Amino acid sequence: MAKTEVILTHNIVGLGAESDQVKVAAGYARNYLFPQHFAIPLTGANKRRIESLKQRRAEREAHDLNTMTDLAKGISKLICVISVKTGEDGKMFGTVTSGMIADQLKTQFDIVLEKRKIHLEHPIKALGEHEVELRLHADVKSTLKVRVESSTPPVDKSAVAPVVEAPRTHTRAKRGEQQVHTSERPNRPERKPREKSDKA
């Protein structure tokens, strides 16, 4: 596949930032980067634009750093509450992922954060409070408190018990009645052996 060198004019995740010179597939450059104005061909004339692109990049990165530093200070004071379904034993169905945390941050606090910036070593599998690391910027890290609560109403065992016991006592009564009937019937056969023993 033919490669071509381009100068990026915008920050593209996974590829580079403004003023970076990168090699990409010729078709990718021709069909996507150039039409979208995300890059320009690497030519002598375009090389002169690198300085202005570097300046714009520095301004954007400084702005990003300030924004993320402020966000880190604010977000560390928040508690993100996530409701999950649980079984009767209190165990969660499924797990809490970084995507779910990102969705709740947007819903509860109107904070838009990419899920890749929410660093979970393992998905959360237990109820309670958890501290989650946020990698907001190359130079900015923060922690977010996540409280996982059960959305399943607790089962009141004392209220359920009589309902469960009622049919059992009812069936026991029936069985007791049957036992009375069956115990009356064997009395007659018991007399016959006694009569035989009297004859003997």
pLDDT at 183 over 50: no
Q: Which domain holds residue 23?
A: 3-71
Q: CA–CA separation, 80 vs 33, rounded Å?
A: 38
- What are the tens digits of pLDDT across the range 1-14? 789 999 999 989 88
* Residue 9 shares a structural domain with residue 44: yes
| Residue 31 covered by a domain | yes
- DSSP one-letter string for 30-44: IIIITTTTSEEE--H
Q: CA–CA separation, 95 vs 119, rounded Å?
A: 15
Alpha helices per DSSP H over the chain: 26-28, 44-47, 50-75, 98-109, 157-184, 187-199
Whose tokens are 């004392």? That residue is 158
pTM above threshold 0.85: no
- What are the tens digits of pLDDT across the range 27-72? 999 999 999 999 999 988 888 888 889 999 999 999 999 999 999 9
Number of domains in the chain: 2
- What are the tens digits of pLDDT across the range 99-120? 999 999 999 999 999 999 999 9
Q: Tell me if 33 sits within 8 A of 22, measured CB to CB.
A: no
- What are the tens digits of pLDDT across the range 128-153? 999 999 999 889 999 999 999 998 87
Sign of CA dihedral 81, 87, 89, 92: negative
* Residue 123 shares a structural domain with residue 81: yes
CATH of the domain at 99: 3.10.430.100
- What integer best gives the mean pLDDT of the chain? 82
* Residue 36 shares a structural domain with residue 63: yes
